[in-house]
Amino acid sequence: MSALTTSVVSVVVVCSVLVSSVGAVELAPGDLIVTDFNHGDLDGPGSVSKFDPITGVQTLISTGVNLDNPMAVAIDGFGDIIVLDQPGTSGGPAELIRINPADGTQQVISSGGMVNPTGLSLDSAGNFLVSDAGLVWTGGTGGILEIDRTTGVQTVFSSGGFFLGANSLTIDAAGDIFATTGNASNGLTVLKIDPVTGAQTVVSTGTFQTAHSGIAVAASGDIFVNELYYTNGTIKVDPITGTQSWLSTGGYFQDPYGLDFDAAGDLIVADSNWWWPGNIFKVNPTTGAQTLIASGLVDPAGIVVYPIPEPSTFVLLAMGAFGLLAYAWRRRRHLS
């Protein structure tokens, strides 16, 4: 394996702008949050919906306005939905959008600068990481941008080196960044990127002729990547040997994009199916068995499982509640 460190250069500053709303939606741990290029029909606006992971029932969260081609999706530390929207057919810029699930309002965090953004994740500081297959600042080889969660400033975090386009990324439990790159000529390459320095290390390369999309890392360290053009399916990558093998193909696989794990450790796939309708389905990470969750979408792309709060979150909430009770008790005692 080899490594390369790349420079970090500040490139864009934008302002946040409040825009639209649709309706109140209550999210629960395990709910599936899905972006769709076309809500309702092939000419519809972009949208974000939640799906019940058991019944598959869909509830619209937000649609239209800034949602032109919503691609990747993530959840920030406040429970808000973060959407990466690709440049629209009308010529609008790529944007990073925050959506409040309580009322569906959209807020543009960062606009422009991005060329062909496809992947989205959050770092340990709560800032956003975006994989961009274009990145004109680096000669079009692609790379990863870091976007400040408050100001929207875009910074090139890692680029050049082994990047030949940057198609998806994720962050594992240890905080390491994993990204996919490569094309039909040299096959799928998975990179591990240091979250502090941006240094790139090749984990796996060159086995499958592929156009790849979503990526997810299991608790075991195994890496899973969706392939959406030549074979259509999910590839399993051994993090130690770099061996690539097919986990699951055929069945509901047509054009898989989004990929995430649920709390049980199953893979959840959003498949746009160019021939419509798109599907959301579960894939067993060991056997590759597929289970349909929902069908009838138009062009689903990004998917994220609404997170179950960490134990530390419950501790903080309990401490906060205890503090409020103590304050109220002291105040009542003082006034009596």
Checking if the pLDDT of 42 tops 60, the result is: no
Which H or E run includes 333? helix 311-335
Write out pLDDT tens, residues 112-124. Answer: 888 889 899 999 8
Higher pLDDT, 313 or 160: 160
Which backbone phi and psi does 18 adopt, to 5 degrees? -80, 135
Residue 266 has a pLDDT of: 98
Asked if residue 293 and residue 249 are part of one domain, the reply reads: yes
Tell me what the mean pLDDT of segment 54-69 comes to. Answer: 90
Asked if residue 178 and residue 93 are part of one domain, the reply reads: yes
Higher pLDDT, 313 or 147: 147
Residue 175 has a pLDDT of: 93
Tell me what the mean pLDDT of segment 256-260 comes to. Answer: 95
Residue 13 has a pLDDT of: 38
Asked if residue 334 and residue 198 are part of one domain, the reply reads: no
Asked if residue 176 and residue 149 are part of one domain, the reply reads: yes
Which backbone phi and psi does 256 adopt, to 5 degrees? -75, 135
Residue 44 has a pLDDT of: 64
Residue 223 pLDDT grade (very low, low, confident, very high; cuts 50, 70, 90)? very high
Most confident among 142-146, 187-191, 226-230, 238-242 (mean pLDDT): 238-242
For residue 87, whether the previous peptide bond is cis, meaning omega lies within 30 degrees of 0, is no
Residue 184 has a pLDDT of: 60
Longest dimension (CA), the chain: 79
| CATH number of the domain enclosing 233 | 2.130.10.10
Checking if the pLDDT of 247 tops 80, the result is: yes
CA gap 138, 263 in Å, rounded: 38
For residue 109, give its domain range: 3-305
Higher pLDDT, 326 or 79: 79
Tell me what the mean pLDDT of segment 153-181 comes to. Answer: 91
Which backbone phi and psi does 244 adopt, to 5 degrees? -110, 135
Report percent pLDDT > 90 for the chain.
56
Residue 152 has a pLDDT of: 95
Residue 135 has a pLDDT of: 62
Residue 320 has a pLDDT of: 37
The model's pTM is 0.84
Asked if residue 322 and residue 301 are part of one domain, the reply reads: no
Average pLDDT, the chain: 81
CA gap 41, 139 in Å, rounded: 37
* Tally of domains in the chain: 2
Checking if the pLDDT of 83 tops 80, the result is: yes
Asked if residue 319 and residue 301 are part of one domain, the reply reads: no
Q: Could you tell me which of 19, 62, 16, 66 has the C-alpha nearest to residue 39?
A: 62
Asked if residue 35 and residue 67 are part of one domain, the reply reads: yes
Checking if the pLDDT of 134 tops 80, the result is: no
Q: Locate 49 and state its tokens.
A: 């919906």
Q: Locate 239 and state its tokens.
A: 């993090």
Write out pLDDT tens, residues 11-33. Answer: 443 433 333 345 568 899 999 99
Asked if residue 261 and residue 316 are part of one domain, the reply reads: no
CA gap 298, 68 in Å, rounded: 14
Tell me what the mean pLDDT of segment 37-65 comes to. Answer: 84
Asked if residue 282 and residue 325 are part of one domain, the reply reads: no
Q: Locate 143 and state its tokens.
A: 């790379």
Tell me what the mean pLDDT of segment 47-52 comes to. Answer: 94
Which backbone phi and psi does 330 adopt, to 5 degrees? -65, -40
Q: How many other C-beta atoms can be found within 10 angstroms of the C-beta atom of residue 83?
A: 27
Q: How many other C-beta atoms can be found within 10 angstroms of the C-beta atom of residue 122?
A: 16
Asked if residue 317 and residue 221 are part of one domain, the reply reads: no
Residue 3 has a pLDDT of: 41
Lowest mean pLDDT among 117-121, 204-208, 224-228: 204-208
Residue 15 has a pLDDT of: 37
Look-up: residue for tokens 């825009």?
19
208 and 236 Cβ atoms separated by less than 8 Å: no
Residue 336 has a pLDDT of: 44
Asked if residue 69 and residue 26 are part of one domain, the reply reads: yes
Asked if residue 299 and residue 317 are part of one domain, the reply reads: no
Most confident among 52-56, 180-184, 311-315 (mean pLDDT): 52-56
> C-alpha distances in angstroms, 201 versus 158, 170, 191, 208?
12, 15, 6, 19
Residue 206 has a pLDDT of: 75
Tell me what the mean pLDDT of segment 1-6 comes to. Answer: 40
CA gap 40, 268 in Å, rounded: 22
